[in-house]
Copies of this chain bind each other. A is one copy, B any other.
Amino acid sequence: MSKVSPNRLGIKQILGALESGDLRATDVTQACLDRIMARNAEVNAFVSFDVRQAMTAAAELGDFNVKRPLFGVPFAVKDVIDTKAYPTAYGSPIYAGHFPERDASCVTLAQEHGGVLLGKVATCEFATQTPSNTRNPLDTRRTPGGSSSGSAAAVSDYMAPFAFGTQTTGSTIRPAVYCGVVGFKPSYGLINNAGLKPLSPEQDTISLFTRDVEDAATVLYGLHGVRCPELPRIVPRIGVLRSSQWDHARPETVEALESLTDRMATAGASISELTMPAELEAMIEIQGRISAYEARHSLAYERLYQHDRLSSRLQGRLAQEQHTTADEYFAFKQRARQARRLAAQWFDDVDVLLYPASEGEPELGLMETGSPRYGGLWTLLHLPCVSQPIAVGPAGMPLGAQFIGAYGDDLRVLAAAEFMRAHVQYVHKLPA
């Protein structure tokens, strides 16, 4: 690995190089910071970073306790997640220069287990759809997706080996694919969301962006203080889940999914065709209504007292669902519970569901972040999802897919995603 700049290493490689003494923690952090300084003016992934703080943190790790599960691994944090030492603006001018009084749980846990905080990365306004000015590193004329725009771009651009993002509708699955990296939304609750600015509290899920599937598993376990077990080598039972949402996928996306499915079948995976039950089809719309209703409540303070400083787009979103009654909302919440029960049945027969992750390649322009449609239902259902690029589209940009697993069965869906990875037609390459 002597020729590869340390910022291009994956997490497993970093841990190995630090343990063997081939690299020091400061080498890795310095290389990430160098990359940020070289590229951030163009990519706008980071909204704040601090060379001195990050280098001090890396230096203070020393070389004791190198067995810590995230020892010396630099990371970036989406700016809807609180950090005490870096301003936390939630993507809104209301909170420009705001310093929370403490770090979020995930930030502290990553540090407790050896990680090095590099800084904060851009988010859409309060993790909704009003974009940041982040660019897609693969083509800076294009959107990186949202709302975890900076997380996806930073990891794609080799500024950080992992970044925390979030997903409430489709804020992880899609930007990961747009930027050519892995997006992992764990089962709801497995990464503690204390210190996350709430949007829809029973959906908001802290997620991980990495360049490899194994690295996502390493971080998930690392946050719980343990070295990740080797991902089991599995040949998964895959359910290709058809729904009305496939109608919105571009022909090249459908083709890439079919071609991928054929290759996985050839490799021995059992493939079954499943159809979305009507009640779950109905939940796709209800997920949007729950999200809009809860955003009105979660952002009540900003809606009432800082309305003029919200984007007109967010103002419009917060005006939605204002005529929904309490009883309607309670009934939505009940149906969401029942839907979780219904969805659990799939996993009696399959290990994972295969589903689109994005309609197609990321669009030109930075005013839209693409449709979050392929994420919402899975966030509502609390199920773990792993998305990744699977092919290159007509414009040379990634097309993607996701696997969805049973609640709490995150290791299995990651293992299945590692199997998928062996069959994709995509290699992540960026010029130095």
Q: Which residues of B contact A299 (CB under 8 A)?
A: 194
Q: Say whether B326 contacts A187, CB under 8 Å.
A: no
0/1 per residue, A173-204, Cβ < 8 Å to B? Answer: 00000000000000111101111011001100
Nearest chain-B residue to A297 (Cβ)?
A: B192
How far is the CB of A306 from the nearest CB of chain B, in Å?
9
Q: Which residues of B contact A340 (CB under 8 A)?
A: 337
Known: A189-B201, A326-B224. A300 touches B108 (CB 8 A): yes
Interface residues on A, range: 35 or more
A383–B369 CA distance with the chains assembled, in angstroms: 38
Q: Which residues of B contact A188 (CB under 8 A)?
A: 202
Q: Which residues of B contact A224 (CB under 8 A)?
A: 325-326, 329
A101–B95 CA distance with the chains assembled, in angstroms: 9
Q: Say yes or no: is A331 at the interface (Cβ < 8 Å to chain B).
A: yes
Known: A112-B304, A194-B198. A297 touches B105 (CB 8 A): yes
Q: Say whether A189 contacts B105, CB under 8 Å.
A: no
Partner of A337, one of B301, B331, B408, B411: B408
How far is the CB of A211 from the nearest CB of chain B, in Å?
22
0/1 per residue, A307-333, Cβ < 8 Å to B? Answer: 000000000000000100111011101
0/1 per residue, A346-363, Cβ < 8 Å to B? Answer: 000000000000000000
0/1 per residue, A101-130, Cβ < 8 Å to B? Answer: 111110011011000000000000000000
Known: A101-B95, A102-B302, A108-B304. A192 touches B187 (CB 8 A): no
Q: Say whether A297 contacts B198, CB under 8 Å.
A: no
Q: Which residues of B contact A331 (CB under 8 A)?
A: 408
Q: Which residues of B contact A344 (CB under 8 A)?
A: 337, 341
Nearest chain-B residue to A302 (Cβ)?
A: B102
Q: Say yes or no: is A410 at the interface (Cβ < 8 Å to chain B).
A: yes
How far is the CB of A360 from the nearest CB of chain B, in Å?
34
| Chain multiplicity (copies) | 2
Q: Say whether B189 contacts A193, CB under 8 Å.
A: no
Q: Say whether B226 contacts A326, CB under 8 Å.
A: yes
Q: Say whether A410 contacts B98, CB under 8 Å.
A: no
A193–B202 CA distance with the chains assembled, in angstroms: 9
Q: Which residues of B contact A304 (CB under 8 A)?
A: 108, 111-112
Q: Say yes or no: is A298 at the interface (Cβ < 8 Å to chain B).
A: yes
Known: A202-B188, A337-B407. A105 touches B300 (CB 8 A): yes
Q: Say whether A301 contacts B103, CB under 8 Å.
A: yes
Q: Say yes or no: is A20 at the interface (Cβ < 8 Å to chain B).
A: no
Q: Which residues of B contact A334 (CB under 8 A)?
A: 407-409
0/1 per residue, A276-320, Cβ < 8 Å to B? Answer: 000000000000000000100111111011000000000000000
A344–B300 CA distance with the chains assembled, in angstroms: 32
Q: Which residues of B contact A426 (CB under 8 A)?
A: none
Q: Say yes or no: is A221 at the interface (Cβ < 8 Å to chain B).
A: yes
Q: Say whether B192 contacts A330, CB under 8 Å.
A: no
Q: Say whether B407 contacts A221, CB under 8 Å.
A: no
Q: Which residues of B contact A410 (CB under 8 A)?
A: 330
Q: Say whether A333 contacts B95, CB under 8 Å.
A: no
Q: Which residues of B contact A28 (CB under 8 A)?
A: none
A201–B302 CA distance with the chains assembled, in angstroms: 22
How far is the CB of A217 from the nearest CB of chain B, in Å?
10
Binding site for B on A (CB under 8 A): 84, 95, 98, 100-105, 108-109, 111-112, 187-190, 192-195, 197-198, 201-202, 220-221, 224-226, 294, 297-302, 304-305, 322, 325-327, 329-331, 333-334, 337, 340-341, 344, 407-411
Given known contacts A102-B302, A195-B301, what 19 new A-B pairs fall within 8 Å (CB)? A103-B300, A104-B301, A109-B300, A187-B333, A189-B202, A190-B329, A192-B198, A193-B198, A194-B197, A194-B198, A194-B201, A194-B298, A224-B326, A226-B326, A331-B408, A333-B407, A334-B409, A337-B340, A337-B408
